[in-house]
Structure 1
Amino acid sequence: MALIGLEELRAAQRRIAGVAVRTPLLPCPWAATGDRRLWLKPESLQPTGAFKLRGAYNRLAAMTAEECARGVVAQSSGNHAQAVAYAAGLLGIKAVIVMPDTSPGVKVDNTRAFGAEVILVAPGERDTLPAELVERHGYVWVPPYDDPYIIAGQGTVGLEIGEDAPDELDTVLVPVSGGGLISGTAAALKLTCPGVRVVGVEPELAADAQASLRAGEHLSWPVEDTYRTIADGLRTPTVGVLPFRHLTAYVDDIVTVSEDEIRDTVALLARRGRLVAEPSGAVAAAGWFHRADEVGGRVAAAVVSGGNIEPALLAELLAR
């Protein structure tokens, strides 16, 4: 399958207009150190609280009438779940979502509130049950990242950064899980702003993407390892096949951050940036604050990918 190009990215941008929010690029003077400056792209401001709406709506809106009538099934720890449920509701499509039983309650509740049927399973079954449901019921499978429409939709984040960024922007930080967001964002930036470096950030406890990129081959981590991280949206044990092709073509490097660094950054974004970020959404900014030598660059933008955090966890992290 070919890498996505500008035509697919621009088509996605037109398709999601008026549904997904065109989030601002926020300057962070409180984050400046010396001549280093940071901007934040708060995808937590989307109607579903995360960037996933871009890809989900782009995928569902491109379906045929026959596909829409069949309904859709998706698997997700929460943000893709909410996005598919919300998009399906707008388009009048039945949605069934398979979620691990470790998903935060706020994400499960929101997915149901958007009108989807939720099936909770053990983490190891999350990625296998959808295929069975497709076979049994004829649903259209909407994967969370390994799909060109999903990648193109997420890539609109990169298009917007390229359009809004100051001329001196030299680095963009993006969280990595299954790879849909960084794939699309990196493609958009490299095709429109070729001088900008794209650096992925993921938890040390779920660093399969970094291992894969540096080894030059598609590697997988055990589920029991990746599920140790507090960043529940980044626990995917391996990047997708199509995202891995984009990573090797467009991503300059991937760095990792510790659990304490993620926790500290959630609190920092809330206190200083007035932004509610879930742990997964804070990872890219954590790379800027805690791994400056590895990240490099002078003027960066970090994608705050989501803000769907349990209130009790947010209170705990703010009390640290």
Structure 2
Amino acid sequence: MSGPTVLVTGATGFLGSRLVAQLTRQGFRVRAFVRRTSNTARLQATAAMLHFGDVKDVESLSSAMKGVTVVVHAAADTSGDAQSGQLITVQGTRNVIQAAMAGGIRQLIYLSSCSVYGITDCQPWQRIDETGPIERHPEMRGHYSEAKLKAEQDVLAAMGKGALKVTCLRPGTIWGPGGETFTPMMGFKVGRRLIGIIGSGRFILPLVYLDNLVAAILTCIDHPGAYDQIFNVVDPTPVDKNTYTRKVLKPLFPGALFFRIPYWALYATVACQEVVFKALGRRPVLSRYRLVSSQRPVKVEGGKIARQLGWSPPMGFDAAVQEVLRFERGQG
């Protein structure tokens, strides 16, 4: 097929590099926006044209967008540093919007995050669709979540302004070959030998497999039904911690000791830690607010993008597990 020219920011990242590869395979003309200091090895096998620049520099973005019709903005700071989050995630997104509007870009697809939802305002087992409560205290969730929410607010403010059509995607936890297989949402890990899983294991993980998210982005490109819309992107098959531990973690860590961390015990420990650290004038390692935000059992709903755009994830959970295991075992 022959499609529009697509600019991808964050093109050397876990998601961006996979997206660039799939876009070029499907015949899109792709411009990969990368920093000069970035490792571009994963892009070398693609037909993408590299454009060097920085999202902090609006002029380099404007130059990269010449002749482009669609921008996929996936660049974000993941360091957790407050200043970097402000410069790269927040100001970088503002620069992308400014350049896209000035450059006559037809569509901007922004990769936000399900972390923008205010989980503490939800009831246990509540279903969260795109109208769910937005985080009221992002500063208490951590610098990454705070920056992503600020950036999303700027993106949503651009909807309906001028000719630029905006699509905001809120993916869940992205996983796949080469990505993280164990996240803080699961629990705590000490090396490869000691792994603690928080809670009873019934917690539904808001997973989205890498290739399924890429397919969602492709579905949105030039789709009128995606214009000025927000979509959650999570895999349709519910996967709880017990299932993920049994099918992914135990095969990857065969010699590890797995144990349960009761949520109530962890909550009490974190509360005591907050009191002690406050008395010492130090910032706590983990707050009760962040713990509740990551562990309250809710179900993120991703049905809108399937109903409205016809998104059909190409990879089911079991097939995705086999892909990840092959990669991690050096067979990918």
TM bucket, shorter chain = 0.3 to 0.5
Between structures 1 and 2, the one with greater strand share:
2
User: Which protein is bigger by CA-based radius of gyration?
Assistant: 2
Q: Which of 1 and 2 has higher RCO (CA within 8 Å, sep 6+)?
A: 1
* TM value normalised by structure 1: 0.33
Given the two structures, how large is their TM-score scaled by the length of structure 2? Answer: 0.32
* Structure number having the greater helix percentage: 1
